[in-house]
Amino acid sequence: MSKRALKTYLAELNKKALEAQVMELYEKFPDVKTYYNFAFNPKEDKLVQEAKSKISNEYFPLKRKRPKARRSVAQKYIKHFIKLGVESTMVADVMCFNLEIAQTFALERNVPDAFYKSMLNSFTEMTTFISQHGILEEFKYRIVKIYEHVQNEDWLYKEEFSRSLDILE
């Protein structure tokens, strides 16, 4: 169904029928429920803290012995926040946090080469996002700190990290 056809269909419905359809969507589809819960009660700070806690638990677990160190957990939260329309500074904060916690983890562990490639992807996505949303001033210090850590610890792909930093200029 095209957008135009949907608009025509919705215009023909009376208020009660429209309310019934929205309620049915709310009950049937978890994404719709999540959207409406966020739209009417946007506890962004709570969502960000929950995400940071889960990301931290990936690298420094509280209940299990071995860390999983999966980048996908942070990416899932970031994509979800963008989809919901969470404020861009909060999304960028989670992006920075993900890299900072991963760097702390890499100091203590011997990580595989794929880890560095994955962190390069996260860094590139973060710099692109910050550039697109014009919030560099708020995150410049953290970005520089992350970049300096990469250079000082002689991470793999450090030249690519430098190229990703060029996005901001």
pLDDT of 64 over the 90 cut: no
- Which amino acid makes up residue 106? A
**Residue 43: what pLDDT?**
87
In this structure, what DSSP letter does residue 113 have? H
- The stretch 37-56 carries a mean pLDDT of 91
- Dump pLDDT digits (tens) for 1-28: 899 998 998 899 899 999 999 999 999 9
Share of the chain above pLDDT 90, in %: 76
- The percentage of the chain sitting over the pLDDT mark of 70, rounded to a whole number, equals 100
Q: Cα dist. 125→43, 50, 78, 98, 128 in Å?
A: 25, 21, 10, 12, 5
Q: How confident is the model at residue 119 (pLDDT cuts 50, 70, 90)?
A: very high
Residue 72's nearest CA partner among 54, 53, 46, 47 is 54
Predicted confidence (pLDDT) at residue 168 exceeds the cutoff of 80: no
Looking at residue 160, its pLDDT comes to 94
What's the pLDDT score for residue 65? 86
Residue 42 main-chain phi, psi, to 5 deg = -80, 85
Please provide residue 8's backbone torsions phi and psi, each rounded to the nearest 5 degrees: -60, -45
> pLDDT (tens digit, 9 = 90+) per residue, 89-113?
999 999 999 999 999 999 999 999 9
The average pLDDT across 133-141 equals 95
* Average pLDDT for 34-58: 90
95 close to 126: Cβ distance less than 8 angstroms: yes
Specify the residue for token string 């960028």.
92
**Rounded mean pLDDT of 21-48?**
89
Q: What pLDDT is stored for residue 76 in this prediction?
A: 96
